[in-house]
Amino acid sequence: MHIKSCSFCNEKAVYRRKYSGESLCTECFKNSIVEKTKKTISKYKMLKYGEKIAVGLSGGKDSSALLNVLNQITKSHGSKLYAITVDEGIEGYRDESKFLAEKMCKSMNVPQIVVSYDELFDFTLDEALKPDNRKSSSCSICGPLRRRAIDLAAQKMNADVIATAHNLDDSLQTFFMNLFNNDLPRLSWLNPLSSGFKADIRRIKPFMDIYEEEIAYYTYLMKIDFQIEDCPYQDESIRSEVKEFLNNLERLHPGIKYSTFSSAMKIAQKSSELTKKDRIKCKKCGQLSSQPLCSVCKTINIVNDSMEIYASDQ
């Protein structure tokens, strides 16, 4: 069989990028991920010289790859990298990822901060999900809490920017879920630059232009050790359906995820302009929100209420 050679050098190709028609060897593929990330960062002016960057590091594939790539990119930028790991309090699941995240930070000499739901919100995720009288899914409870945990940790260490590892697939799935949910304000969350809990910390997604499959292949080629096991509470069935639908389309029409993402970005931009004036300060924590109580404070209330009802029933 004829082995195709790399489109950029004479080495043997290991990856074919269907949407662009390129074949890439190991080194060129690795470089392409680093270069794509750099391009996204400069295109959206995500980072400035010398900034303090807090990377959300779960120990999973995407966030481990992000720390690895940013560690290569930011050295010449005078930036200082930190990792924030959130311990949601999931017995028997978090230990492995926490261990891997810690090992990774040590090997790169990146300071790591670990924050837990228990210390921040006074309950672990296990405790919060124990009562089964709640209507919300586990992910819709955990998501806002994790976002707030990272915000609070970043604020405490005076970070200028929070980097999270959302890839193109994640963002596109979330976009469709918000569309299905008739949640216009949240469509704008797709914007490349948004602010965290306090407006002075920016939130960036340096992997937003990269397919999940390519991040996965990058971690494989870089031999990055990450946790494979899925969260035991994962229950977003619509997300998996959307994911499957989009991946099927991509198989038949390479590049369609990318073009859909570009349209989604434009819609996000418009919806952000439309909903900006409706934003008010959450009456409990002060975060900008489309409702009197922000999604985090609402979630904390739901959890506390369901735990109270559960306790009085026992």
Sole residue written with tokens 């005076």 = 158
Cα torsion for 259, 260, 266, 270, to the nearest 10°?
Answer: 170
Q: Considering only residues 250-289, where is the footprint of Zn ion by CB under 5 A?
A: 282, 284-285, 287
Q: How far is the CB of 286 from Zn ion (least distance, A)?
A: 7
Q: How far is the CB of 299 from Zn ion (least distance, A)?
A: 9
Take residue 33 and report the two structure tokens written for it: 């991920």
Sole residue written with tokens 């090992």 = 103
Number of chain residues interacting with Zn ion (CB under 5 A): 12
Which residues on neighbouring strands pair with residue 82, listed in sequence order? 54
Per-residue DSSP letter, 281: E
Is residue 303 involved in binding Zn ion (CB under 5 A)?
no
Q: What's the CA gap between 199 and 195, in Å, rounded?
A: 5
Among 25, 41, 125, 246, binds Zn ion (CB under 5 A): 25
Q: How far is the CB of 89 from Zn ion (least distance, A)?
A: 21
Q: Considering only residues 187-246, where is the footprint of Zn ion by CB under 5 A?
A: none
Max CA distance (Å), the chain: 70
The residue (of 231 and 294) whose beta carbon lies closer to Zn ion is: 294
Sole residue written with tokens 């991040």 = 215
The residue (of 108 and 285) whose beta carbon lies closer to Zn ion is: 285
The residue (of 122 and 241) whose beta carbon lies closer to Zn ion is: 122
Q: What's the CA gap between 190 and 208, in Å, rounded?
A: 9
Among 294, 300, 303, 307, binds Zn ion (CB under 5 A): 294
SS3 15: strand
Per-residue DSSP letter, 6: P
From residue 303, alpha-carbon distances to 122, 135, 142 in Å are 11, 11, 10
The residue (of 247 and 275) whose beta carbon lies closer to Zn ion is: 275
The residue (of 28 and 165) whose beta carbon lies closer to Zn ion is: 28
Q: Considering only residues 5-24, where is the footprint of Zn ion by CB under 5 A?
A: 6, 8-9, 11
Beta strands in the chain (DSSP E): 15-17, 22-24, 52-56, 80-87, 112-116, 161-163, 193-195, 202-204, 280-281, 288-289
Helix and strand numbers (H, E) in the chain are 12, 10
Among 28, 70, 165, 208, binds Zn ion (CB under 5 A): 28
| CB-CB contact of 185 with 169 (8 Å) | no
Q: How far is the CB of 295 from Zn ion (least distance, A)?
A: 8
Per-residue DSSP letter, 162: E
Q: How far is the CB of 12 from Zn ion (least distance, A)?
A: 9
- The region of 28-36, 118-126, 189-197, 242-250 touching Zn ion under the rule CB under 5 A is 28-36
- The region of 1-9, 58-66, 157-165, 246-254 touching Zn ion under the rule CB under 5 A is 1-9
Among 84, 297, 300, 303, binds Zn ion (CB under 5 A): 297
Which residues of the chain form contacts with Zn ion (CB under 5 A)? 6, 8-9, 11, 25, 28, 282, 284-285, 287, 294, 297
